[in-house]
Amino acid sequence: MRLIAAEDYADWKGVKIQEVYQLIKNGDIRSLNKSNGSLKRLELVYVDQVPEHILSLDSEVEHLNQKQAAKKLNVSVDSLRQRLRENEVKSFTIKGYCFIPMNQFNESVTFR
């Protein structure tokens, strides 16, 4: 399964965003549980297939924001941002939110 922004889902399906939120509320569409509060203004929904023009995340992969990834990798956020700028670390940006797939790191990853 893939994760896409609710806004992208609405555009793709040709419906209003309010209708998408109603589908989520009714349980017709499953959304990502945002219990940690880090995605306050971004609703991600699960879909089986995604058109190529819509950026999506693999729901089987753990994705963290910059602060969470830096903490998990035991580096400073500035150090991680530098590696993002230099394309040493892969990331995705959806609606202004940065997602770093953690499957690109193995247990022996060290940053200087």
Residue 40: predicted pLDDT: 63
Q: Considering the entire predicted model, what is its pTM?
A: 0.81
Q: Cβ(26)–Cβ(18) under 8 Å?
A: no
**How many other CB atoms are there within 10 angstroms of residue 78's CB atom?**
10
List the one residue out of 56, 83, 57 whose CA is nearest residue 70: 83
Each residue of 2-43: pLDDT tens digit?
999 999 999 999 999 999 999 999 999 999 866 445 556 789
Each residue of 38-49: pLDDT tens digit?
556 789 999 999
Q: Cβ(50)–Cβ(58) under 8 Å?
A: no
